[in-house]
Structures are given as structure tokens and as C-alpha cells.
Chains A and B, each alone.
Chain A
Amino acid sequence: MALFGFSWWTAENDHLDWHKLSGYGILTLLLFRVYWGVAGSSTSRFTDFVRGPRSIFAYGAKLFGRSGAPSFGHNPMGGWSVIVLLVLLLLQTVLGLFAVDVDGLDPGPFGNFVSFDTGRKIAHWHGKVFNLLLIFTGLHIAAIAFYLLVRRENLITAMIVGTKRVAIHEAVRPLRFVSLWWAIPGIIVAAAIVAWIALGRF
């Protein structure tokens, strides 16, 4: 989130060099998250939180009820919010790699693969997708605030430490936490891919 804000600020203030570093940082995190979505702890896995329309509606119906539907990890609606944000952020960083600035002085690292005009169009989409991201991150944060203030569920702590207080009668599904050692190969591979993009001579 800090990098997202920083990317916006550096773009607005013509600090394209920092903007690129910020984008590389975001891309590294995204690639790691994709890896963790396959190899990570159970609540992080895509197979765990990507649900069909039926469970989304069932969950949504209970959302405003007194007890609400218990859930661990991303709930059926939040799961899709995560997917949308991941896809949009990936799209945004990939567009950024090909984007060309208005003066042609500081194209993205893959600028050589596109013409000036194409690169300018991509830069334009890079601006549009940012607006979409504002909407969906806003929605995501608003939902978290709703849980915190209305439903008294702290999803932020749950995200960071992986634990959550639940009522005793709620059905608890076993969670499996993968050792954090497993994160290391993901971090290394993600960083290596981004370093190759940033430093490669294309």
C-alpha cells in the first residue's frame, strides 16, 4: 500500500526513476503473492478462497445478520476482491513495463519492444487502470473497515499474524501454516525475475 501511494506521488511529480523502483518493488511482491497462492499457508492459497457464485450469495445474505457467517482466511466475497486487486495490479505493472513517457526520454524497461505511439497508448491505459485500482482498493479497505467497526472483527491482525478470535460454537476448519522457510525460494525467484527486467539489456 505504501508503494502504491508512492507510485502515484512519483508519477504526479515527475520522478520517473523512483516510480520505476517503486513499480519493481510492487511487482516483486505480486510475483511472491502468486507463488504463495500456490505453495503458501492454507488460507493464502487460491484454491482456498476462490469460490463459486453460490457460496458468495450465501455468505452475502448472512453478512448483515447478528452472528454473520464465520470464515477463516478470505471470505467468499473478499477472496474475489483479492483476485481482482492482484489481476489489476499485475496488469498495471506489466503495462508500466511497456509504457513510454510523453517526451520519449524515459520509457519503461520493455520500451524497446513497442513503438513510441504504442508506448504512449499503453501509458494512457496505465493511467486508466490506476483509476480502476483506486476504486477497488477503496472498496477493499471500506469492507475491512466495515468488519472492524460494525462486525467487530479485526481482519488486519488476522492478515498479519494469522490468528483470529472466534466464538466457541463456530465451526473451526483446520488451518495449515506453511513454514516461513518456504517463502524464501519464492522471494528469491520473484526478486530475480524483477532484477532481470530492471537490469536486462533489451
Chain B
Amino acid sequence: MRFGSRTIGIILTGAILAVSGGYVAAAESTADVIKARQDKFKDLGKQAKAIVGQLKSGTLDKAAASDEAKKIAEYAHDLPTWFPKDTGPDSGVKTLAKAEIWTKPDDFKAAAEKFQTEADKLVQIAATGDIAAVGAQFQETGKACQGCHKPFRTPPPDDAH
């Protein structure tokens, strides 16, 4: 009898852990998706800053700029997969992603494709190492970033934007 109740206790504890563990995993996955997305956008910012830095200094490192442009283009093509359903402002997790991403999917798709086109061009031009041309195309790529941020991102709070 003593042994029996202990067994039941272990089974019950195990069951509770399994169920609560399941909830935790579900809650985490939304947060994980959003965190992973934010990390990728931060890395995009890093690549952008690296190219801006070279443009500002007046010397373009062809190899480095090419790598940075390629990363940006890779992210651009991957970007449409970063916004699965239920990872928006109603997800309960803090995010700057606006509901419009999901309510205006065609506009969002068009904005992402514009970014992809400009980023692909940037990769080609970066390979030439022509700093003036890279500067001009980088401007266009930056505009594509902003073209998506304005309608689909809540302005970052309490910060220099």
C-alpha cells in the first residue's frame, strides 16, 4: 500500500510536469520566434552599419562589403518566413510588428519583394567595389527597408530612431 501510493505519486508528478512542460514549450515558441526575428533584424542593422561605415570613411573593402551585401540579401529572401501567424501584437509577447503584416499580406509581400530586388542589386554592385555605385544602391536598399518599416513596424519607443 505504501509502495503503491508512492508509485501513484510519481506517476501524477510526472503527468503534471509533462502537461505544464507542454504549456511552457508552447508559450516559449512564440517568444522564441519573435526573439529569433529580432536577432535577425539586429544583425541586418549590423550589416547595414558596416556598409555605411565604409561609405563614410571613403574606403570600401570589396570583400567585406560583398559579404555584408550577401547577408543582407539572404535575410531579405528569408524575411517572409519570419512572421508566422500569431506572432504579432496580440501574441502577448512584446513586438514592434504591426497587425497590418497579417491583415495586408499583399502589401507586406510587395514590400519584402522590393527589399529583395534592391538587396540583390546591392550584391552585384558590391562585387565591383565601386564605392559611388555601392553608395547609390545602398540608398535604394535603405529606402526599401524604410518602405516596409513605416507601414509595418511600430516606431521603437524612447529611443533615437
Contact = CB atoms under 8 A, between A and B. Distances in A.
Interface string A120-135: 1001101110000000
B14 to A, nearest CB: 42
B53 interface: yes
A116 B49 contact: yes
Contact of A107 (B52, B145, B158): B52
A11 interface: yes
Nearest to A14: B161
Nearest to B54: A112
Interface in B132-161: 142, 145-146, 149, 155-156, 158-161
Contacts of A119: 49
Contacts of B56: 109, 111-112, 201-202
Contacts, number: 75
A104 B46 contact: yes
Q: Is the interface of B mostly helix, strand, loop or mixed?
A: helix
Contacts of B145: 103, 105
A102 B45 CA distance: 7
Contacts of A106: 52
A100 interface: yes
A70 to B, nearest CB: 43
B156 A102 contact: yes
Interface of B: 42, 44-50, 52-53, 56-58, 142, 145-146, 149, 155-156, 158-161
15 contacts: A12-B161, A99-B160, A101-B160, A101-B161, A102-B156, A102-B159, A103-B44, A104-B50, A107-B49, A116-B42, A116-B45, A119-B49, A124-B160, A201-B56, A201-B58
